[in-house]
Amino acid sequence: MQTVTVIGAGLAGADCANYLATHGIPVRLIDIKPNAYTLAHSNPDFGELVCSNSLKSNDVFGNACGLLKEEMRKIGSLVIEAADATKVPAGNALAVDRDAFAAFITKRLRENPLISIASQEAESIPEHGICVIATGPLTTGKLAESIAELSHGGLHFYDASAPIVAAESIDPEHSFSGARYGKGGDDYLNCPMNKEEYTAFVRELVGAERTILHSFEKREIFEGCMPVEVMAARGEDTLRYGPFKPVGLRDKDGNRFYAVLQLRKENGDGSAYNLVGCQTNLKWGEQKRIFGMIPALKNAEFLRYGVMHRNTYIDSPKLLNADFSMRERPDVYFAGQITGVEGYVESAMSGLLAAVHIATKLAGKTPVIPNRHTVCGALSAHVSTPNADFSPMNANYGILLPLETPIRDKKERYRALSERALAEMDAYVAHLA
């Protein structure tokens, strides 16, 4: 059996390598860890979550990313299996203990006898044999040059992450536990502000000093990872209708608030909390000063400051087939955010599907693409359908084909779309067997 080379052991590469190996296909997995790290990595294990946000909603019938997770469970995703095994309380969201999550994935990959791991930096794309490039949004060096040459250029955007604070440093007198509308129990800490506090916070946030961008990096910012200071600059009330919205949040005395910042557990033991929706490119000293204006965070200990990463993706609609292979060179596949899917789960999905299609091809069969009734199929279509204004895409119900009989009620429509997608995915998985 032909050995498949997978470059990169992030979420996309991990899911790809695992699926291939569990289906009897030898894999050579190349990753720089633990010998070296990108600027955004620090954990020697594979499958490291760089951004501190969760893997989004786990609601299968009301959220497209929750639906995507269930589609991936049906196919056999290592990433989703790891997330389910290491999840921490977060309401309807699938948040994980990041260290335990990465350890789970690494153990599975290292224990599989069909996966040989090379801890080195890949500097070029192999000239022969099937290769999957899953090097993530921070691809640099000679490999980036090789990809740029093969793909006739590349595109860039920014991906921002939020700060993390120590739980014990959060002021309990100015915070209260509880999820929005009481859903999810006490999985969140809420940090309320009155009008004067919020107005002062926004004023300082807008005028704060930001990290200087390198001249070679573009200034476009993807809406899905909008820095909090950029949102605030769009109007004083923008945050109150976004990540600081007070709707559905009351303390134990039933009080309502002008604005509320939510904090979510960053790990299983609840020793660290993530500032939900506060992705930022502010200088570190400015982050401590300005977020410290929020009463609950006046003495906060920052375990990690928010950072903004350069994120690179290829012009996939011009380059890729729907099976994630290159049109000009069908033995080379791309997977992960470099393809223009946006998000942890979406990235893992692309690696998983690339592996499915490779396994099908090696079995002498013609790969079949999931249809656009499924999130998997819709995202596959997004990265392979001609689009002059191509940009990264998250899982969302808007990319699915509409129902034959329209349903006006959003909740009922989402449920119907999800039920249809899961039925289609059952049929797809049965076809793969």
At 405, which CATH number?
3.50.50.60
Q: What is the DSSP letter of 38?
A: -
Question: What pLDDT score was predicted for residue 217?
Answer: 42
Residue 120 and residue 182 in one domain? no
Segment 387-404 shows an average pLDDT of 84
Establish if 291 belongs to a structural domain.
Answer: yes
Please state the rounded mean pLDDT for residues 148-161.
Answer: 71
What pLDDT is recorded for position 40?
A: 60
pLDDT tens, residue by residue, 123-133: 889 989 999 99
How far apart CA 232 and CA 290 sit, in angstroms, is 13
Task: Tell me what percent of the residues of the chain surpass a pLDDT of 90.
Answer: 63
91 in Cβ contact with 179 (< 8 Å): yes
pLDDT tens-digit series, residues 31-57: 988 776 565 666 789 999 865 456 989
Residues 305 and 353 both lie in one domain: no
Q: Which amino acid is at 292?
A: G
Q: Which whole number is the average pLDDT over 106-115?
A: 98
Contacts of 177 (CB under 8 A, 6+ apart): 186, 188, 189, 190
| Distance from C-alpha of 164 to C-alpha of 145, rounded to nearest angstrom | 34
Helix spans in 195-237 (H): 195-207, 228-232
Given a cut of 70, whether residue 277 has pLDDT beyond it is yes
CB 193 within 8 A of CB 132: no
Question: Please, what is the average pLDDT of the chain?
Answer: 89
**CA–CA distance from 104 to each of 87, 229, 381 (Å)?**
12, 35, 31
- On whether both 292 and 393 belong to a single domain, the answer is no
Residue 159 lies in a domain: no
- One-letter amino acid of 161: S
According to DSSP, the residues that pair with 192 across neighbouring strands are 260
Contact 238, 223 (CB under 8 A): no
The pLDDT value given to residue 34: 79
* 361 and 238 both lie in a single domain: no
User: In angstroms, how far is the first alpha carbon of the chain from the final one?
Assistant: 19
Q: Are residues 238 and 294 in the same domain?
A: yes
* Whether residues 322 and 384 fall in one domain: yes
Same domain, 204 and 130: no
- What is the structure's pLDDT at 16? 98
Same domain, 213 and 189: yes
Assigned domain for 325 exists: yes
Are the CB atoms for 334 and 324 separated by under 8 Å?
yes
174 within some domain? yes
Count other Cβ atoms within 10 Å, centred on residue 223: 13
* Distance between CA atoms of residues 226 and 229, nearest Å: 8
Q: Are the C-beta atoms of 432 and 360 separated by less than 8 Å?
A: yes
Looking at the structure of the chain, the number of domains it has is: 2
Report pLDDT for 308: 73
Position 215 scores a pLDDT of 42
| Domain-embedded: residue 58 | yes
The predicted-structure confidence for 214-262, as pLDDT tens digits, reads as follows 444 434 555 556 789 999 999 999 999 999 999 999 998 999 999 999 9
- Residue 258's pLDDT is 97
Same domain, 26 and 145: yes
Single out the residue in 274, 309, 344 at which a domain terminates. Answer: 309
Instruction: For residues 268 and 330, state if they share a domain.
Output: no
pLDDT tens digits along 66-75:
999 999 999 9
Q: Which range of residues forms the domain containing residue 28?
A: 4-154+314-432
Asked if the structure places residue 277 within a domain, the reply is yes
Domain shared by 69 and 145, yes or no: yes
Predicted confidence at residue 216, as pLDDT, reads 40
What CATH number should be reported for the domain holding residue 287? 2.40.30
Residue range 392-419: mean pLDDT, rounded: 90
φ, ψ of residue 116 in degrees (nearest 5) = -100, 130
Given this model, what pLDDT does residue 237 score? 96
Which of 292, 309, 326 is the endpoint of a domain?
309
pLDDT at 235: 96
Which distant-in-sequence residues (6+ apart) come within 8 Å of 294 by Cβ? 191, 193, 197, 201, 261
In percent, the amount of the chain with pLDDT more than 70 equals: 90
Q: Is the pLDDT of residue 185 over 70?
A: no
239 burial class (0-12, 13-18, 19+ CB within 10 angstroms)?
A: buried
Angle between helices 344-362 and 11-22 (to 10 degrees): 30
* pLDDT of 219: 47
For residues 319 and 167, give the distance between their C-alpha atoms in angstroms, rounded to a whole number. 46
pLDDT at 387: 81
Q: 97 with 33, same domain?
A: yes
Q: What is the pLDDT of residues 350-377, one digit of tens each?
A: 999 999 999 999 999 999 999 999 999 9
Note whether residue 281 is domain-resident. Answer: yes
* Single residue among 251, 285, 309 that ends a domain in this structure: 309
Q: In this model, does residue 141 exceed pLDDT 50?
A: yes
Q: Is the pLDDT of residue 114 over 60?
A: yes
Residue 234: predicted pLDDT: 94
97 inside domain: yes
